[in-house]
Amino acid sequence: MKTVMSVTTRAPEPHSAKDKDTFAYKTVAHRLPVILTKAIDTTCRRLKSLVESGVVSSDHRLDAEQEMKDSIGRMAKLRNELQTDKPFVELVSTAPDVHIWNRCLSDHMSEFRCEPKWFTTSWLYAECYLYRRVREAFQLTQYVNTFDPFSESKEEALKSSIHAIEVLTEFMRTSFATKDTDIETEFTRFIELSLWGNKCDLSLSAGSQTNQFANPTQDLIQMRDFIIDNHTKQLWHFVDTYRSSSDGLQLSLVLDNSGFELFTDLCLIEFLETSGILNDKSVVKFYVKSMPWFVSDVMTKDFHWFLRYLCDDSNTHSSAVKELAHKWTHNLKTGKWLIIDDHFWTLPHDFSQMKTISPQLYHSLSESNLIVFKGDLNYRKLTADLKWDLSVPFDTSLRGFLPTTLCSLRTIKADVVVGIQDKQMLQKIHTFADNWRETGDYAVIQLAIKQ
């Protein structure tokens, strides 16, 4: 009789700023203080125009100005805590997620017998905690409670990408009208557009604006070699079955960044509708953040602002862009598209903990046939941001999280990468520049199928 040995594989440690040669360290030591300083500067600048920009009525001008100053003080204190590696402290507002955050703190104390600190705890926890504390800086106020210190940069990013948006609109119009390529090739293009749209987040550039496509068809072909694990073919086979089904695909899109990336995501949806993969019975659920997050992540109000801006007749962009934006606004009005926010996305937990922490969200996701996770942070949360070997299968790194079939479209902007099983690719990676995981130049399209 054969004895089967069960090999218990222990999950690796999380990435952390304690490793000085990692992007985690660079981020905590250098990038996060810059992001905080920019948030403080923006808040200082906006302080005097709160009434003019409609944030508060003139009756409350003085109180609101004082509250903005208090919030600036809280962010400056946070920056000092970060730079001097102080222990994390409890959140103090009465928001519904606070007890979960404070439980993380006490769980950490029980497990490690010390408070978490910026340079020794996991990078994922530290970075999420920073954005949660920025939110708290405003949450403790009465008149400027909803102030988003990143909204200006999100809006500027969209305005500065209008030319690229025009180019993509034209690209989409011609590809739908001419049908010069087969449908799988078209699908691949729109998946890749949405993928590379993720290269343009503002947290990577600490809030500076980034470049977009000039010639989509050519650019996409050139960039294909930079996708180091690519499951687009399998993804196509999966979605293609819905073209002939009367039910239509039920799709969840876990969004990442506002602005240009959101535009590329909506172009992908537009393609899925035009090709019949999404039909009249399909509902697309867009999951967004419920607070300002990682500088450029989309919130419900950003999504609406984005559509209002693109619809606005007083802006000079083309009528084709405006028509698209009107159509998309209509999709939201009719309920064909739903925007859903949930505080789980702005907790420090990885996704394997979703079923326990936010069972309703897990259930909502499991009602879809496919979940598309956009971007780097979602990838870090799928894989728990652990120090996995490059060759560990994507499915293994999910550690049981599979509400339904899911895929990740991610440009690589952080240390964790899994699923590289091709030996040649592993060799090739050794020839990449040392900082290849930090630039967003490389990407993965990875799929996990629920049987």
Ligand X SMILES: O=P(O)(O)OC[C@H]1O[C@](O)(CO)[C@@H](O)[C@@H]1O
Among 213, 294, 328, 394, binds Mn ion (CB under 5 A): 294
**Which segment (74-82, 233-241, 369-377, 396-404) binds ligand X by CB under 6 A?**
369-377
Write down the least CB distance from residue 374 to Mn ion, Å: 8
Rounded least distance, CB 204 to ligand X, Å: 4
Contact set for Mn ion, span 193-212 (CB under 5 A): 201
Describe the strand order of the beta sheet including 251-254 as a list of residue ranges: 227-230, 443-448, 405-411, 370-374, 251-254, 284-288, 337-341
User: Is residue 188 a contact point for ligand X (CB under 6 A)?
Assistant: no
Sort strands 405-411 and 443-448 into parallel, antiparallel or unpaired: antiparallel
**Rg from Cα positions in the chain:** 22
How is residue 350 annotated by DSSP?
-
Whether the CB-CB separation of 223 and 196 falls below 8 Å is answered with yes
Residues 38/75, Cβ–Cβ less than 8 Å: no
Residue 302 in the binding site for ligand X (CB under 6 A):
no
Q: Which listed residue (108, 376, 419, 437) binds ligand X by CB under 6 A?
A: 376
Q: Minimum Å distance from CB 376 to ligand X?
A: 3
Element spanning 446, H or E? strand 443-448
Distance CA 51, CA 322 (A): 30
- Answer with the entry of Mn ion, ligand X, none that 273 interacts with (C-beta below 5 to 8 A by kind): none
SS3 210: coil
Least CB distance to ligand X at residue 145 (A): 25
- Cβ 386 vs Cβ 418: under 8 Å: no
Residue 380, binding choice from Mn ion, ligand X, none, Cβ under 5 to 8 Å by partner class? ligand X
Strands 405-411 and 370-374, bridge-based pairing: parallel
Give the residue from 20, 202, 124, 21 showing the smallest Cα distance to 383: 124
For the segment 191-230, give every residue that binds ligand X (CB under 6 A).
Answer: 198, 201, 203-204
Least Cβ distance, residue 132 to Mn ion (angstroms): 15
Q: Which is nearer to ligand X, 106 or 435 (CB)?
A: 435
Q: What is the rounded distance in angstroms from the CA atom of residue 39 to the CA atom of residue 32?
A: 11
Q: Pull the structure tokens for residue 359.
A: 């069972």
Q: How many residues does the chain have?
A: 451
CB-based contacts of 379: which residues, under 8 Å, 6+ apart? 373, 408, 410, 414, 416, 444
Nearer to ligand X among residue 252 and residue 331 (C-beta): 252
Identity of the residue, 127 or 302, whose beta carbon is nearer to ligand X in the bound complex: 127
Report the residue from 297, 350, 385, 438 that binds Mn ion according to the rule CB under 5 A.
Answer: 297
* Helix axis angle, 183-197 to 232-240, nearest 10°: 120
> Among 122, 151, 257, 383, which residue sits at the site for Mn ion (rule: CB under 5 A)?
257
Return the residue of 67, 97, 229, 256 that touches Mn ion, per CB under 5 A: 256
Q: Calculate the CA 52 to chain-centre distance.
A: 31
Site for ligand X in 23-42 (CB under 6 A): 27
Q: Could you tell me the smallest distance in angstroms from the CB atom of residue 378 to ligand X?
A: 6
Site size toward ligand X, by CB under 6 A: 15
Amino acid letter for position 58:
S
Of 199, 251, 243, residue with least CA distance to 220: 199
| Closer residue to ligand X in complex, CB, 33/375 | 375
Cβ nearer to Mn ion, comparing 83 with 209: 209
Q: Residue 346 binds which entry of ligand X, Mn ion, none, with Cβ cut-offs from 5 to 8 Å by kind?
A: none
Point out which span in 158-166, 299-307, 308-316, 371-379 binds ligand X (CB under 6 A).
371-379
Beta-bridge mates of residue 374: 409
377 binds ligand X (CB under 6 A): yes
- Cβ-based nearer residue to Mn ion, 117 or 380: 380
Our finding on whether 265 is near Mn ion (CB under 5 A) is: no
Which residues ranging from 384 to 413 are in contact with ligand X (CB under 6 A)?
A: 413
Residue selected from 97, 127, 192, 229 as contacting ligand X according to rule CB under 6 A: 127
* Minimum distance from residue 132 beta carbon to ligand X (Å): 14
Residue 67: partners with Cβ closer than 8 Å, 6 or more residues away: 141, 142, 143, 144
Closest C-alpha among 382, 380, 385 to residue 13:
385
- Write out the two tokens for 55: 């944030």
Q: Exactly one of 248, 375, 403, 419 binds ligand X (CB under 6 A); which one?
A: 375
* CA 393 vs CA 206, 229, 316, 376: distances in Å: 32, 11, 48, 18
Q: Does 415 bind ligand X (CB under 6 A)?
A: no
Interacting partner of 328 out of ligand X, Mn ion, none (Cβ under 5 to 8 A depending on kind): none
Residues that bind ligand X (CB under 6 A): 27, 127, 198, 201, 203-204, 256-257, 294, 375-377, 380, 413-414
Residues that bind Mn ion (CB under 5 A): 201, 256-257, 294, 297
